[in-house]
Amino acid sequence: MKQKNIDNIIALSNDLRWQIGDEFHDNLAEGIYADAAEIVKVSVHKPNGDNRLRLDAKIDKIITSKTWGFPLMFLILAVVLWLTIVGANYPSSMLAELLLNTIHPALKGYASALGLPWWLDGFLIDGVYMAVAWVIAVMLPPMAIFFPLFTLLEDFGYLPRVAFNLDHLFKLSGAHGKQALTMSMGFGCNAAGVVATRIIDSPRERLIAIITNNFSLCNGRWPTQILIATIFIGATVPASFAGIASLGAVIGVAVLGICFMFLTSWALSKTVLKGEVSTFNLELPPYRPPRFWKTIYTSIIDRTLIVLWRAIVFAAPAGAVIWLISNIHVGDLSIAAWMIDSFDGFAFLFGLNGVILVAYIVAIPANEIVIPTILMLTVLVTGISGGAGAGVMFELDSANATGEILRAGGWTLLTAVNLMLFSLLHNPCSTTIYTIYKETKSVKWTVVASILPVILGFVVTFLVAQVWRLFA
């Protein structure tokens, strides 16, 4: 009886819906707004009509003007990046001094005083602790500067205007203007950039923004780019121009990343994603003075620490693996050496070497530990002096000393260029991959987002290597 009644209700609703036709939603929406207008007419008195505050309108006129809009935007982005990179140097080296040069030896001392077996001590302190310490030292300061600055701009209401100004460029590649922001966020951290895509409410454009976020050079990769450019690119020109040349190379790589972002966005929107629903709307909220300290506090808690925590969770096992593969021996070679040997031929095709590929495989969890891993592995296989022992990642104070080790490992200018390219174009770190999965809840898109950049990376480095060898 009950079921029959319910079937009746559903049948009746189907029937009525068919009779009303397509207009239902329109009519309902119009009806609600008509009611709203009546209510507002009685209770609200607006002497200025619908016009916005004069100050707001004035700010908007400047921010979105043809003359000032773009220069202002680049200026603000440049200042934010400059403050982040330069400002992070000092606390970063302090943290490194504390965590790597003070606490690490102290821990080693305790361990030997306690009489821990060498393998446990190595595994825990040289492996796990070092990886975590490295990630914190490199990652925390820039993020603690970048995210609050970004959040202040966001709370003030500037970021939606950036999306507004740039939307046309993004539309040409089938993306949403708000991708400009998720992309900029990616310059700080790709995982945070992927979370930020929540502001894009159109399914197709959101997926595009998620998949292409990895093309923004994140702060785990900036130091790699800067170091390698200083050592190899700077050396190709007279010393007085070295600084400018290496800076130009780093900016070039970042811009190349933006180009790849546009290109991939366009290709995705024309192929695999063309069936996804696409809508567009962008609300430009009124300007509100941000509450400075509160913003700083919440952005550090909400963004920086959460991302840092995730990175640590992923870096710890990576440190363990790195230590294990360089200390477990099969025959007379360590696993790491075996891997490097077998990858060497393959890597040669791409103008890289086995060390780099192994480093990228074991350092999936965090881009920050790629260079220390490369140095450690290079020392391991070449047998030159330096470093702190098998499985102990290290970095050197001077770029020159680092360069010597790398050159001894067989690095050429081509290796350096291709490493910079590969650092831009390779799979996202595992924190980001995990975040992509959480945001899309789809294995398919997670796989696409992870594999696509590696394929591009291999293609690009392959082409560069062949052309280089043909002409050089």
Partner 1 sequence: MEVKPKSACDSCAHFNAAGLKKLGVDTSSFDHVIALAGNPNTGKSTVFNALTGLRQHTGNWPGKTVTRAEGGFEYNNEKYKLVDLPGTYSLLSTSEDEEVARNFILFGKPTVTVIVVDASRLERNLNLVLQILEITDRAVLCLNLMDEAKRNDIEINTRTLARDLGIPVVPASARYNEGIPELIQTISEVANGTIVCKPHRIKNIPKNIEKAVEDLSVEILKEYPDMPNSRWIAFRLLEGDQHIINLLQTGEFEEYIS
Partner 2 sequence: MNTYDPLLALLVFLGICLLGFLFFRPNNGWFWLINKGSQSTDKIIVEDILKRLYHNENAGKYLNINDIVRTLKQSDKMVIDSIDNMATLGLVRISGDVVKLTKSGSDYALRIIRAHRLWERYLADKTGFNKTEWHQRAERKEHELSMDETNLLAHKLGNPQFDPHGDPIPTITGKMAELKGVPVSELKTHTIGRIIHIKDKPDIIYKQIMAENIHIGSIIRVVEKSPERIVFHSEGEAFKLAPIMAGNITVSILEKNISYEEDILRLNILKENEKAKIIGISKEIRGESRRRLLDLGFVKGANVSIDLLNPLGEPKAYLIKGTSIALRNDQASKILIKK
Shortest Å distance, C-beta 241 to partner 1: 43
Looking at 133, 136, 159, 352, which residue binds partner 1 (CB under 8 A)? 159
Q: Which is nearer to partner 2, 238 or 275 (CB)?
A: 275
Q: Is 70 in the site for partner 2 (CB under 8 A)?
A: yes
Least distance (Å) from partner 1 to the CB of residue 196? 10
Q: Determine the Cα–Cα distance for residues 133 and 312; give it in Å rounded to an integer.
A: 9
Using the rule CB under 8 A, give the single segment among 10-18, 85-93, 366-374, 461-469 that binds partner 1: 10-18
Region 158-197 residues binding partner 2, contact defined as CB under 8 A? 164-169, 171, 177
Cβ neighbors of 213 (< 8 A, separation 6 or more) are: 182, 183, 186, 190, 193, 194, 197, 428, 432
Contacts 24+ apart (CB under 8 A), 462-467: 462/349, 462/350, 462/351, 464/351, 464/414, 464/417, 464/418, 464/421, 465/349, 465/350, 465/351, 465/414, 465/418
- The span from the CA of 402 to the CA of 395, in Å, is 8
Report 33-92 residues binding partner 1 (CB under 8 A). Answer: 33-40, 42-48, 53
Shortest distance, position 309 Cβ to partner 1, whole Å = 16
Residue (8 or 112) nearer to partner 1, CB? 8
Q: Minimum CB separation from partner 1 for residue 275, in Å? A: 17
Beta carbon nearer to partner 2, 55 or 251: 55
The residue to which tokens 């070497």 are assigned: 353
| Helical ranges in 328-442 per DSSP H | 335-349, 354-362, 370-382, 399-408, 413-424, 430-440
Under a CB-based contact definition with an 8 Å cutoff, are residues 173 and 247 in contact? no
The interface partner of residue 332, options being partner 1, partner 2, none and the CB cut-off 5 to 8 Å by kind, is: none
User: Rounded to whole angstroms, how far apart are CA atoms 357 and 118?
Assistant: 28
Determine the Cα–Cα distance for residues 80 and 89; give it in Å rounded to an integer: 14
Residue 353: which of partner 1, partner 2, none does it interact with, CB under 5 to 8 A by kind? none
Nearest one of 226, 220, 230, 193 to 209, comparing CA atoms: 193
Task: Please give the Cα distance from 457 to 460 (Å, whole number).
Answer: 5
Q: Does 64 bind partner 2 (CB under 8 A)?
A: yes
Instruction: Provide the minimum distance between the beta carbon of 271 and partner 2 in the complex, in angstroms, as a whole number.
Output: 9
Name the 3-class secondary structure at 259: helix
Q: What residue 238 binds from partner 1, partner 2, none (CB within 5 to 8 A, per partner kind)?
A: none
| Binding-residue total with partner 1 (CB under 8 A) | 62
**For residues 299 and 294, what is the distance between their CA atoms, to the nearest angstrom?**
8
CB of 208 to partner 2, least distance (A): 12
For the segment 333-362, give every residue that binds partner 2 (CB under 8 A).
345, 348-349
Residues that bind partner 2 (rule: CB under 8 A) add up to a total of 54
Whether residue 178 contacts residue 243, with contact meaning beta carbons closer than 8 Å, is answered with no
442 binds partner 2 (CB under 8 A): no
**Residue range at the interface with partner 1 (CB under 8 A); choices 285-293, 317-325, 410-418, 426-434:** 285-293
116 exposure class (CB count in 10 Å sphere: 0-12, 13-18, 19+): middle
**Shortest Cβ 80–partner 1 spacing (Å):** 17
Q: What x/- string results for residues 284 through 323 when contact with partner 2 is judged by CB under 8 A?
A: x---------------------------------------
CB 246 to partner 2: min, Å: 27
Q: Give 397's DSSP letter.
A: S
Q: How far is the CB of 17 from partner 2 (least distance, A)?
A: 6
Residues that bind partner 1 (CB under 8 A): 2-3, 5-6, 8-10, 12-13, 16-17, 19-20, 23-25, 27-40, 42-48, 53, 151, 154-157, 159-160, 198-199, 201, 283, 285-288, 290-291, 294, 297-299, 301-303
